[in-house]
Amino acid sequence: MHVPLIAPPTPVDYLVVGHLSCDLTPEGPRPGGTALYSALSARALGLRVGVVTAWGGETSLPSIDGVQFHIVHTGRSTTFENIYTPEGRIQILHHAAPGLHFRDVPQTWRGTAVIHLGPIAGEVPALTGGSLSPSLLGLTPQGWLRCWDRSGRILPCRWPLAQQALAQAGAAVISIEDVAGDEEQVEAMALACRVLAVTEGAAGARLYWNGDLRRFRARALPEVDATGAGDIFATAFFTRLYATRDPWEAARFATCFASHSVTRRGVAGIPTADEIQACLVEVF
């Protein structure tokens, strides 16, 4: 059953399609996922935001002025657990909710200026087939670059539709972690995509565009929690790219924007108005 929280949906500036997640933490379950972090980031940037997602209602969702949720109800949300070890993060998928389809997107939203496909467990089709008509189609392919074993442990995997999906996108953002540091895979994706940004955690990001490569340093700020930083980067990047049509400027802004996000925990890391202004005027 498809029940929008606001009916009928009104036009938005930024649409994200992907599952909300129920994240298991020592403090209890909390909502997460690309859909949530991207929606909050786009709203912080002053945009009207739509989200097409699945949610099982394990916890209450935050009420966000300017964000409309179109929810495909499911008995249980996509559920993750992150375990941090000295060797790095271990991510466990406890449950994957049913997939989304482009028919789940309200007609009013199918021509939204910026549409962001943000799967977290392969739940969104990689190819739109003309179902959507944005000015900028942005992809964060992490959910297509994941597989999991019988225990639910997330492992990197190849993405069979990478060439076709990246060719139809206006821009894409991946983490170097998404491809387990495979530079050959990064190069192939850069060749297939008009604009590709690769985030590298505390090292910042790199951008491939028009046969050129540039690197952008992260700001030296104390890291408290990096959860959602890649999604926050991607939203800032897509938003700024659409506004300026300048990928270098978009990458500069997004790197600064995401740097601020790691200084606080969870969704509290969404940059403030003062931090956004600082990123806009920063020159380096």
How does residue 284 score in pLDDT terms, banded at 50, 70 and 90? Answer: low
How does residue 87 score in pLDDT terms, banded at 50, 70 and 90? Answer: confident
How does residue 172 score in pLDDT terms, banded at 50, 70 and 90? Answer: very high
| Amino acid 38: pLDDT | 96
Please, are residues 232 and 118 in contact by the beta-carbon 8 Å criterion?
Answer: no
| Amino acid 108: pLDDT | 97
What residue ranges do the domains of the chain occupy?
A: 2-272
Bridge-based pairing of strands 146-148 and 154-156 is antiparallel
Closest CA to 202 of 224, 185, 184, 183: 224
User: What percentage of the chain exceeds 90 in pLDDT?
Assistant: 74
Please, are residues 83 and 90 in contact by the beta-carbon 8 Å criterion?
Answer: yes
How does residue 85 score in pLDDT terms, banded at 50, 70 and 90? Answer: confident
Round the average pLDDT of the chain to a whole number and report it.
Answer: 91
Q: Which CATH class is domain 2-272?
A: alpha beta
pLDDT tens per residue across span 239-273: 999 999 999 999 999 999 999 877 777 787 788 88
pLDDT tens per residue across span 111-159: 999 999 999 999 999 999 999 999 999 999 999 999 999 999 999 999 9
pLDDT tens per residue across span 3-31: 444 457 899 999 999 999 999 988 889 89
Task: Kindly state the average pLDDT of the residues 25-40.
Answer: 92
Contacts of 46 (CB under 8 A, 6+ apart): none
Q: Give the whole-angstrom CA distance, residue 241 versus residue 195.
A: 10
Residue 161 belongs to what H/E stretch?
none
pLDDT tens per residue across span 100-119: 999 999 999 999 999 999 99
Please, are residues 90 and 152 in contact by the beta-carbon 8 Å criterion?
Answer: no
Q: Give the whole-angstrom CA distance, residue 250 versus residue 2.
A: 35
How does residue 283 score in pLDDT terms, banded at 50, 70 and 90? Answer: low
pLDDT over 70 (residue 1): no
| Amino acid 3: pLDDT | 40
